[in-house]
A and B are shown apart, each in its own frame.
Chain A
Amino acid sequence: MVPFAAAFGYSLLYSFGIIGVVNDGFTLEFWAEVFRSGAFLDALIYSVTIALISVFISVTAALWFTLKFQKKLRGKIVSFMIYLPLAIPGIVAAFFTVQILSKSGLFSRFSYLLGFTSGITDFPDLINDQYAIGIILVLISVVMPFFVLLFLNVYDNERLDQLTELARSLGASNSQTIWRVSLPVILRKTWTLIALYFIFLLGAYEVPLILGQESPQMLSVLIVRELKQFDLTKISEGYVVAVMYTILVSIATILLFSKRSTENG
């Protein structure tokens, strides 16, 4: 906690120009500049959109997958295999995606050989692209397997198989059982964690660093780029963004956990 306070305090002071090599005293100029340029807002909207889409698709797919295949995922080999994605860190997933989806990647070669494209430039931009397809794909591939395991775990802990049998015996149809029993039970148990993953993805760094484009950028990438700039006046602006990001995430945390503890208590 002390380092957190120290880091926040330092960034705050720097953002107001109170400290810093080229700064001379308190000023709101950097804050004004960040808002004027819209850099923070762009990065925020971009990050929120990417995180939201990734989490939404991951959760939906994982839910569907768990409920459809929960019996088949228990086999000895299969149950080992579904854990394997957790061994792949973001940076490896990003590296792999470059090899597969880039213009000279594996898919591009297949499509060339099959005659769909006539060369490197023909192949669509799937990474470093405008729509962040590469980023979202990698984030999903990292997060979804985790959710599958999580939901399977909840499925067992909450005795969902018995609950669904009970619901059936009370006359519920297949889809009623899913919508009125399975989904609410699983989501009630996991929504905090889902929200937490959204916040994590908001701060994703190495994946957008490798697969993103120049502008807009995700928050972490933007902050680090500004802080490491040679143009020293820009550094203060970087701290402005860092401070705003920290405040945002902190508020989200407080909301998340105060809500959770009132529910539990």
Chain B
Amino acid sequence: MGIVSSGFMGRRKREVPGLPPGQYVTEGFPVLSAGPTPKIDRDEWVFTFTSDNGNSRHWNWNGFMSLPQEDIDVDLHCVTSWSKLGTHWRGVPVDALFTHVETDAQFALFHCYGGYTTNLPLRDVLGGKAWIAHQFDGEDLEPEHGGPARLLVPHLYLWKSAKWVQGLELIPEDRPGFWESRGYHLHGDPWREERYG
């Protein structure tokens, strides 16, 4: 237990099921991003999958929408300490991008419009753990929240759920992405409070 502030009572619920350590619940949906919001039309949107052997596959919006779609109900946890519980999304499971892909790679680097990147072990994005999401609460995803499409990796801190995602690159060895090379944790598990590197 830390230094006790005798005048501080705190007003939030003490025990919230599903809330990782050091987090509090917000009803809003705060926006955090590093620069201007890119404005990308679905007509020009392309998602590129680059394998570790150099081969690449591309989906335009229509091709992407013809992939399997799932409804996703998950909690979100931001490294800045807020959590938003019970959010509703729709998107393509990352597993669906791996059909007919054979690889020994164990890591992926996701690329975004605007230059942002984030690194993830494949074990954290396959097996129904991550999606490329394009709807939030039944509506098309707003640009400020990452539309047309963002990565959604709800079991890790939200900076891993990269906005404006446009590519997945398989990499043989883990290497830090944008925030990970600027002081944030390489992995980012909220239940282990992997906030800073």
A and B bind = no
